[in-house]
Each structure stands twice: as C-alpha cells, then as structure tokens.
Structure 1
Amino acid sequence: MLHQKTIDDLLTIHEIYMERDVPTYERGREILAKYPDAKRIEVDSHWKIPELFGFEGSVDDWLWNKKNVLILGTKKGLTCRANTRSSHWVAPSQSNGCTMSCSYCYVPRRKGYANPISIFVNIEQIMKYLRGHAGRQGIKTEPDAIDPEYWVYEIGENGDCSADAAICDNVKNLIDLYKELPNAKLTFATKFVNRGMLSYDPQRKTRIRFSLMPHQMSKLVDVRTTPISERIAVMNEFREAGYEVNVSFAPVIYYEGWLDDWYALFDEMNQVLDEATKAQLATEIIFLTHNDRLHEVNLGWHPKAEEVLWKPEIQQVKYSQTGQKNVRYKNNIKREIVGELVNAVSSQLPYCQIRYAF
C-alpha cells in the first residue's frame, strides 16, 4: 500500500513568527501550546517579515520555509468580497499561504513569494462578522448556477483549508458556524486529503472541491500535495460524511497529449466514484494563468515546471487590476482548448455539472 501523505509529512514547525497580541487570543494560545519547542519570533505584522517576504532572499529556502515556518497574526480587515463564480462571497480569510508549493500558485505573488501558512487567531471576530453578514443577506429566493438554495461563502481563497485544519480548529469552527446559518453554506478547494475532517459532520452545508488534473502533470507542478488518485479515492467517503463533494479542474495546462491525459483521469473518476457522489458532482474549469515575476522566481527552485508553465509562443499578456503582468493562452488557442475540454467533460462525465469554464 502506498504511503498516504499526512500533515506530519508537510509540516515540522521549527519557527513561529507571531504578532505581539497573539497570546491574548485563545486560538493563539492553543497553537503555541501545540508547538512548544518552536522558536518564537515577534513581528510587527504578519505581512511584513523581511526574511520571508521578498523573493530574492528566500528562493533558496523556499521549501524549508513551507515545511518549517508558521506565522500567527490577526485578520484586520473583515469584509466580504462579492463573487460570481464558485461562490457568492469571498469571506475574510482565516489563513493565508500554504504549506504546499504548487508552482503556478497566484497567492505568493501577492505576498512576497515566500509564503508559508499564516493562521489568523481572531477566529471569533471573523465568525461574528460572517454571522452578521449572512443575516443581512436574508433568505436566497432564486436558484442560480452557484447554488439552488444557499448563499455560498468561499473560505479558502488564499490557502488550503484541509492543511489549515490539521493545525487548529479554525476550519472546524467555520464548518460548525455554517451548519447554524439557515441561508448560507461554505466552500473551499483543496489539494490535500485530511481524513480528520471526516468527523466534522458538516450536514451538507460545506462544499469541498477537490482540485484535479492529470497525474503526470500534477506530479510535476503540484509540489507537496496529495496524489491525484488519493484525492479521487476519498471523495465517496467525504460525501458519506456529510460534505457536498465537487471537483475543480484547475489549472488546466496545455501540452502535447494533454487531452488524452484528461480522458484517462475521467475514466478513473468513472470507475471510483459511486452513484451518489456522481449525482451531486459539479466542477469549474480554469485554464492556466501565469505571471512573469513568479516565472523568474520558479526558475530558482523548480525550473522543470516552467518548461510547461511558461510558453511564450502560445501565451499572451494580460495585465491584472493591480498592474501585474500575467500571461494566459492566446485567444484563438484558448477558445479551441476550452471547447475541447468542455466537450470531453460532457461526454465522459455526463453527470457532472459544469458551473463555468474559462
């Protein structure tokens, strides 16, 4: 039997950077007690840690930081951002950063590139805000592509909640909160199988989206994540445990033979998923967007991945709202390959609703 990756394979905390008020929060004290031997380093802000945030100095220690460093702070700005795709709202995050190190991840380029997990210890304030926000929305009266019944809140935009849940109870607390809210449910995407979450009893008020891509590509670019077959294998169990189980085909990377690899993935899903899991399955399809600065950083720690991620001959520049130079597949190519994958999903996974594809 293959060794299943656990959080102990991903995290061995040696250093904790913490804002000064962290010990005044119950969650902060819990986490500090969990890692009593870790070196504690006080900082003014979880955002401003020069030895971590700033890609020149941290590329050589990229994976060490991911495995050995934890950051604790408080979430200052509590706001929900309107969304129109996988959720209606993006909730204020209970964490930022990730112990995994997917080479295409957009989060590091928002936070100085070296970006281990930051846990926000003021979870009670976050929950109070979310309870009030949901209350102000009232009952959702019309079904839409996001959900037929509930307002949906994304809680994992800037990290992986399955890994966070192995550090503390922030994610469990949020899952429990949304069980109480009559008009709302939460959602997050994940690349990590945390079997401890099977005991949370989410009562269909949590939509977990397992990110999937062809095996060989995942082995190259999904660094330090749970293997694809293990993600698929656990989906029936999560559905039986009370989760709404969806998938996320993201990012879709174009290369020679790409579509054949997706067909093989779909065959595996058809063989492994039971009828009840298939009946409630939905997906989003998101093609790769890359970034010129992230490309330069990746050349320092994972140049092999850049051979498939950085393809100037088939990519075009798209500037972000913050002025960053992103690249995505050229319009004529993208139209064709989006259509090909949508058709493949429709034919091979006819039970799987496609929420959107771009």
Structure 2
Amino acid sequence: MDTNSVLLDIRRIYLEPAAAELPRGREVLARFPDAELVEVESHHRVPELYGDETNVRRWVRIKREALVLGVKKSLTARVNGRSADFIAPSTANGCAMACAYCYVPRHKGYSNPVTVFANIDKIVGYVRRHAGRQGVKAAPNECDPRAWVYDIGENSDCSVDARLSDNVRDLVELFRQLPNAKASFATKHVNRDLLDWDPRGRTRIRFSLMPARDAKLLDIRTSPVAERIAAIDDFVAAGYEVHVNLSPVVVRDGWLEDWAELLDQLDAGIGAAAKAQLAAEVIFLTHNRDLHEVNLGWHPKAEQLLWRPDLQQAKRSENGFVNVRYRTGSKGRYVAALLDLIGRRTPYCHVRYAF
C-alpha cells in the first residue's frame, strides 16, 4: 500500500482566498483537484477545526483528510541556540502524523492538520537576506562549527510537508546556494523523494529515534524506527548531513535496557560515512497538562507512559502553560546514565546537547 495514501487523503482544503492567487497556492490546489474547497478568513481560525473539543474523536481522520492553505503574515527569524542558531519563518505548521507527546496541538487547537503557506517567495527572500546579514560565523558553537543553522521545521515535519508542496525543496535549494548557512529539520517520516534534491551538505536532517516499544505506542502514523535507521546511509550518500534526535526519552521500567538495544541497532544499521559525521540531540520528555487532558480523549494508553506524577514535577512555562518534566535530581541521573550508555555503545556519536 502506498505510504502517502495512508498518511494523506486530502478531501477538504480550507483556503484563504489570497493563497489561491499565488503560484504555490495554485500548485497545491492542482495536486488535489477533487478536494472540497472551503474559504476561510484566516488560517489561524478554522471554525470546524480549532477550539472544538469534539474534534478529539476525529483526531486522526482530520489529519489525514484536511489541509489548510494560507499566507504567512509575519516573517521573523528567532534566535534559538540549541538545535539551530535561528528558527526560520515557517513554510507550514501542523502535521499529518499524530505523536502523542507533540506540543503543537496545545497552541493551535485540536487535531492540528497541516497548514501550507503559499507565499514561499517571500519566505525564501527573507531567509536569504537574513543569512546575508549574518556574514561569516565568527566562532564555532554547538549548532555548527562554521555555518549559521536555520531550523526550517519547528512546527511541522518537513518530510511530510514535501508531499504537499514544493516549499521544503525550495528551501533546500536556497541553502545549497548560501555559503555561510545551512538548513536543519527533525523528522519521523522517511520520504525518499528528498534523495534527488542534491543538497550538497547544506541541509541537516535529524532522524528522531526512540525504542520501538515506545514508538509503537507514542509515534502514531510515523515511519517505523527501523525504517528511519535504514534510511540514514542513503541520505548521507545523497548529500545530506544526517544527525539523530534521541527523543523524547521516556523513563519507565526497563527504559535504559531498551535504549541500549536501540543504540546497538543504530550502530549495526549505518556505515562508516554516516558514523563519521553523526551527532545527536538528547531530549527527555516534557509533557503538558492540557495535552494530557486531550490525549485522554483519543489515546489514553499513551498517557500511562507520558503522565507520571510519581516521577515528574510541574513547571509553568514562559507562555503560561503548565508543563511537567522529570524531577530535578532524578533527571540529572537519568541524563548521565543515557550519556554513559551512548558513550559505550556508539562512541563516535557526538552528543551536541542533552536535557
């Protein structure tokens, strides 16, 4: 069965009229000629999708069948400093996949299908000018020793976005031309169409990995972890820089033994070229009270792993959300244990940061 048809079966497009007037908007509409078109005033507020708690019963169906086509109004590059030096303006947000720990639904509303932004020319132009203003990177940092790194997929999965429009390809081609910058995005979806894009080392793909036992319960509608590992050598050979995101790390009985097995699978599954350039980000689970309540409506089994008051403590985020994370002191021991394991099982893998 075609993976794309399982993941995406677009039957309804919520459309900002201005998006339909742009070349990219017309291209997207042409990809789905049989879809019902529903005009909306803003991609931010689609009454049938956002703010309606009853949609939790249609969580996956909405992701598969609905698409929003809009225009990105505000173009900014935010300073980051961990995964990337800057977060680039989004060319999309939302996702067709349904990871139970995803933070985006609590910002945008229930289910959160993909929104594609049609004004790609404006976004590409902004990023080009922003990178030009940075000049040469004066000193190495944890993002990259030489290039300014721009995360192009903060609120979406670019491998999935590439099945809906050419926005991601346009950015990969842009960064191919920039001598002082590179693109970066994390993904849980193997899209082999990207292998033909000739990135010339200027795009970093971060394949997210977790033990298969966790992924089966938490990584809903994603490519199997084994498939992600199997793709790494091919993406390296195609000219991508490939890192891994070991995330989210979920603490449970037997968690460290399962991570040891995953690291052994990674070691056995990639070749010398991939190992020579491999680096990792390690991110332990942070969960959210509101998302916990939503998940109870569509995937309560996941919450048995994600919502652990016996192991977690609450922290109010800068934007006012109540998040939970592993308790101070205990978390430090968890991080140290996993880093020690990585050092023993995959000593060539540089850990860029862990928290």
Aligned to 2:14: 17
Q: Which amino acid aligns with 1:253?
A: V
CA contact (8 A) 2:53 2:110 kept: no
Q: Tell me the residue number matched to 1:295.
A: 292
- Structure 1 ranges of 4+ moved more than 4 A: none
Structure 2 counterpart of 1:29, from 26, 31, 54: 26
Equivalent residue number for residue 206 of structure 2: 209
Q: Does 1:357 align with 2:319?
A: no
Aligned partner of 2:40 among 28, 39, 43: 43
Give 1:114 shift. Answer: 2.1
Other-structure match for 1:180 = 177
Query: Could you tell me which residue of structure 2 aligns to residue 154 of structure 1?
Result: 151
Percent of aligned positions that are identical: 53
Give the Cα–Cα distance (whole angstroms) in 2 for the partners of residues 193 and 140 of structure 1: 31
Distance across 1 between alignment mates of 2:11 and 2:69 = 13
Q: Distance in 2 between matches of 1:243 and 1:68?
A: 31
C-alpha separation in 1, matches of 2:165 and 2:351: 33
Please give the secondary structure, in 2, of the residue aligned with 1:234: helix
| CA distance in structure 1 between the partners assigned to 2:149 and 2:238 by the alignment | 20
- Return the letter of the residue paired with 1:294: L
Give the distance between the partners of 1:149 and 1:250, measured in 2 at CA: 26
The CA RMSD over aligned residues, in Å, is 0.9
Cα distance between partner residues in 2 of 1:298 and 1:50: 21
1:76 corresponds in structure 2 to 73
- CA distance in structure 2 between the partners assigned to 1:271 and 1:195 by the alignment: 21
Q: Which residue of 2 aligns with 1:271?
A: 268
Instruction: Measure how far apart 1:242 and its partner are.
Output: 0.2
Q: Which letter maps to 2:137?
A: K
**Partner residue in 2 for 1:340:** 337
In 2, are the aligned partners of 1:17 and 1:71 still within 8 Å (CA)?
yes
The structure 1 residue matched to 2:99, chosen from 72, 88, 102, is 102
1:122-152 Cα shifts (integer Å, max 9, x gaps): 0000000001000110111222221111000
User: How do 1:65-144 residues align onto structure 2 when only pairs under 5 Å count?
Assistant: 65-144=62-141
SS across alignment from 2:110: coil
Task: Kindly state the Cα deviation for residue 55 of structure 1 after the two structures are TM-superposed.
Answer: 4.7
In 2: Cα distance, 1:53 partner to 1:250 partner: 27
Deviations 1:83-116 (A, max 9, x none): 1101000000000000000000001111013200
Unaligned runs of 5+ in 2: none
Aligned residues: 355
Q: Deviations over 1:157-188 (max 9, x none)?
A: 00100000011110000000001111100000
SS for the counterpart of 2:186 is strand
Match of 1:193 in 2: 190
The answer for unaligned runs of 5 or more in structure 1 is none
State the TM-score, normalizing by the size of structure 2. 0.99
**Distance in 2 separating the partners of 1:263 and 1:64:** 35
Matching residue's letter, 1:169: D
Are 1:326 and 2:323 counterparts? Answer: yes
CA contact (8 A) 2:10 2:66 kept: yes
Q: 1:257 offset after TM fit, Å?
A: 0.1
Rounded Cα–Cα distance in structure 1 between residues aligned with 2:74 and 2:54: 29
Between the aligned partners of 2:206 and 2:52, the Cα distance in structure 1 is: 30
TM-score, normalised on structure 1?
Answer: 0.98
